[in-house]
Each structure stands twice: as structure tokens, then as C-alpha cells.
Amino acid sequence: MTAIAFDIPVEIERITAGLERFLRAEVIARHEKHRELLEDPRRRYGPDGRYAAEVVELIRQVRMASAAAGYFNLCVPASLGGLGQGYLAYYVCWEMINRLCGPHHWLGTFALSHWAFGPSPVLEQVTTEARGRILAGLVSGRQSMCFGLSEPGAGSDATMIQTRAMPDGDGWRITGRKMWTSNITFADWMIAFAVTDPARAAAKRGGISAFLLPTSAPGFTLQRVTLLHGDIGGVEGESTLDGVRAEPWQLVGTLHEGFRIALLGVSLGRVYNAARAVGLARWALEKAVGYAGQRIAFGAPIADHQGVSFPLAESAMQVHAAHLMGLNAAILLDRGARAIKELSMAKAYAVEVCLHAVDRAIQTHGGMGLTNEVGLVHAFRTRCESSTSPTAPTRSFVAPSTSSSPRATSSSEGGGARARRGPSRPGSSRRRRNRGRSSGPGTRPCSSHR
């Protein structure tokens, strides 16, 4: 780990060390025991694209074991039954989980309560009756939830949602459609956002409310699993709400002011995504450096070739900067600052440099970098999910094994492989040849190195 000039509080260091021991004993051990089930997508998913029942049960076991060990609710407010740790602990723990577990031991993502999938400050806004109905299941890890905000035509601009909550007696009937909802494929509850005052919503002055809905409610239907990256299953889904009844106790927060809750969730999500990107980037770079030190080409470890080591060094600098930006934003938030700019910058930069770092790790491994067993392609796909938005394009995007050198990038304006490579320089062909790998046992040249 690159040194930082300030100390993480001793309490957080102790928590992180204990969480690491938990991950090795309860997460990595489960992956080893159930390797075929968790790694083979044909067994991991059912015919409908949802997790198989055995996988859902393993996820539940990890959540409950972590809750019993005192880690799952680490950053949940004490008023909800958690330990009340702040944003810095949240950031540090998520970074460590992803750095240790990588994409292969993905059950690790259920060892800490995710802001949208379990108890978090978002639930401080629920009614007393709702607390009595849901907290025991969520805090224990027995149940989980999801966050129903995005809709067709309402993604980055969430104020455009069309789902309506119409008054019905002392409650409401909710009708609409939700999509891109993570965790919906096995969640027990959804916080669903709906328009309750169309005039205020149209003027962007409120008019949107949040409701706590059981996914088993009459009229609540999971229409389909959203498949990504060519996978045969997933955890994103699209649902319809057809007159779903919401009682007064199911209102979350103040009527017409639910968008404040959505913004709180988005802020927590930025902390999570910044930490996850840094953790995965460091995992990838450690893997690449280790491989470069042992892979022999042209009579020496490929780490001795500047064309391999320099891009990794550049990514290490970028990831270190992203790490510091994330720590800075988390500390500011713990001090009570809004830190809107700092947090947004930390998340955006972390995701971007993670994409670069993982791509360079893939290219360092050559053909092996594209294999499932190494796992780098899974890390790349994970980070793509956090950077894909029509209103927030990644400034420079590195596609795995499509560039002629680890430094080549493409802009959002396109231009093809020739534009990505840029003009040739004297001796550039010779330097590219020196970066090649011998195609010995277990390796295959990437198409870009052929």
C-alpha cells in the first residue's frame, strides 16, 4: 500500500483487520467450498436469469454471519441498530473488501450493508411502524431491499419519473415502471419513488415521494432480468407496479419531499463506487505486477521492459491520487461538510482510473488477461457499469485488448483503431515488438499484439 501522510483512526484499523479475517473465513472459504456453483454461470443462474436458490441462500448466509460478527451494520446509524460508524469507515472497508476479494470472491460485496440493499441512513426516514416491520429482517441480514428510482426516460435526470401514486382512502395506489434496479431479482423490499404532486414535480419543486413496498405485494411484478455483458443472468431488473397499495406507514420521509432521500442514496452510492473502484484497481495492479515479475520474455521478466512497467507505474500514480481523493471526501463528510464537488470528483476520477488500471493489467497478462480464471475482464465489466451514462461519458476509455499499446486510448468521439493509436513515431514499431510476449504454454498473443 502506498503511504499516506495521516493515520486512519485506530478503531477503524481494528475494524478493517477484523473484517479481513471475516472475509477469509466466511467469504473466500465459501467460494472455495462452492466453487462450481458460484463460478459456473449455468449453475449460478436459473432459467429466468435470476440467481439459483442455492446461491441466494449463500448470499443470505454471508449477510447473517457478518451481522452476527458485527460488520454488516458497521455504518448503519445506531438508531437503526447499527454501530454508527461514519463515511471514512464506509470508504475504507469497501476499498479493502474489493482489494482483497476482487471479482472472483464476489460474495464479499454482501459482507457490508450496501446503502441500497440493506439498512443505511436512508431508513432513518421510515415510520415507527415500518421500523417494527422491516428492521429486524434487514439488520440481521435475513432480508434485503432495493432502490426503485430509475425508469425509462428517467435515468440521470431522475426528476423525470412517470410512476404515479394516486390517493386511495388514507393511502395510495402506485402505478408505473422501474428499470435498472439492482438487487431486485431477490430483494424483499423496494423503496419506490413516485410522483404525488404532478404540478410541483413538473416545476422541479418536489412533488415526488418515497414508499416502502414489499416485492411480494399484489400488483408488483418483476418483468424481466436485465442481462449485461453477454451474461446469462444478473441482479438488475425491470419491474411494473400495477395499482400497488401503499398504506400510510409505508411512506418514507415527508410527503412530496422524497427526492431528498434519493439524493442521500446517490451520495452514499458515490462513496461506495469510489471505494470499490480504488479497491478493484489496486487488486488488478497487484496482479499485474506479480505476473510481470515472473513472466519471462526475451530472456528477462517482462517487468524489465519499460513498455510494460511504465504504464503500470502511471496507473499506480493515478490510483493513489484517486485513493487520496476518496479519503478526503469521506473525512469532509464526517466533519459535516456537504462536499458535493469533492465527492463527485472522487467518484468520477476513481472509476476512470480503475478502467485504465484494469485494462493495463489485462494487456500485461497478454491473452491470459482475457480468461475467466484470471478475473480481470470481470473487474473491467464491473467498472463499466459505474461509468456508463449518456449524460456523463467517460473522458477517455480504454477497451481491453483493442489498443496497440498499453497507453493507447479512444475518446468518446470515436475514430477507430488508427485514431486510438495516433500517429506513428520513429522506432515505435520496434518498441511495440519488444512489448510482445512469446506464445508459450498457457499464453496466447492478444489480437492487438499479433
Q: Where are the domains of the chain?
A: 10-126, 145-252, 262-411
What is the predicted pLDDT for the residue at 381? 84
Dihedrals φ, ψ of 332, to 5°? -60, -45
Tell me the C-alpha distance between 199 and 444, whole Å.
61
Report which of residues 240 and 157 the model is more confident about: 240
| Same fold flag, 145-252 and 262-411 | no
pLDDT for residue 33 is more than 60: yes
Mean pLDDT, residues 127-146 taken together: 98
Q: What topology does CATH give the domain 145-252?
A: Butyryl-CoA Dehydrogenase, subunit A; domain 2 (2.40.110)
Cell of 444: 496466447
Mean pLDDT, residues 137-149 taken together: 98
What is the predicted pLDDT for the residue at 158? 83
Max avg pLDDT among 103-112, 259-268, 410-419: 103-112
Tell me the C-alpha distance between 371 and 165, whole Å.
47
Ranking 15-24, 38-47, 191-200, 391-400 by mean pLDDT, the lowest is 391-400
Tell me the C-alpha distance between 405 and 388, whole Å.
24
Cα–Cα distances in angstroms (integers) from residue 86 to residues 136, 228, 450, in the given order? 22, 33, 50
The answer for residues whose C-beta is within 8 angstroms of residue 195's C-beta and 6 or more apart is 161, 162, 163, 164, 165, 201, 207, 208, 209
Task: Please give the helix or strand (H or E) that residue 412 lies within, else none.
Answer: none
Evaluate whether 183 touches 223 at the Cβ level (below 8 Å): no
Compute the C-alpha angle 321/325/326, nearest 5°: 120
Mean pLDDT, residues 83-88 taken together: 96
What is the predicted pLDDT for the residue at 1? 65
Where does 24-86 have alpha helices with state H?
A: 29-33, 35-39, 41-44, 53-69
pLDDT for residue 184 is more than 60: yes
Mean pLDDT, residues 241-269 taken together: 94
Tell me the C-alpha distance between 294 and 51, whole Å.
38
What is the predicted pLDDT for the residue at 85? 97
Task: Please give the helix or strand (H or E) that residue 292 lies within, else none.
Answer: helix 259-294
Cα–Cα distances in angstroms (integers) from residue 41 to residues 35, 63, 367, 391, in the given order? 11, 22, 22, 32
Evaluate whether 363 touches 398 at the Cβ level (below 8 Å): no
Tell me the C-alpha distance between 199 and 256, whole Å.
11
Q: Is 172 helix (H, G, I), strand (E, B) or coil?
A: strand
What is the predicted pLDDT for the residue at 266? 85
Q: Centre a 10 Å sphere on the Cβ of residue 448 and count the other Cβ atoms it contains.
A: 19
Average pLDDT, the chain: 87
Evaluate whether 148 touches 190 at the Cβ level (below 8 Å): yes
CATH superfamily of the domain spanning 262-411: Butyryl-CoA Dehydrogenase, subunit A, domain 3 (1.20.140.10)
Dihedrals φ, ψ of 10, to 5°? -55, -40
pLDDT in tens, 393-447: 444 433 444 333 333 333 333 333 333 333 333 333 333 334 333 333 333 333 3
Q: How far is CA 113 from the centre of its chain?
A: 13
Mean pLDDT, residues 334-350 taken together: 96
CA atoms lying within 13 Å on the CB side of residue 316: 14
pLDDT in tens, 293-340: 999 999 999 999 999 999 999 999 999 999 999 999 999 999 999 999
pLDDT in tens, 372-386: 999 999 999 876 665
What is the predicted pLDDT for the residue at 4? 86
CA atoms lying within 13 Å on the CB side of residue 258: 27
What is the predicted pLDDT for the residue at 418? 31
pLDDT for residue 362 is more than 90: yes
Grid look-up 446461491 returns 55
What is the predicted pLDDT for the residue at 387? 55
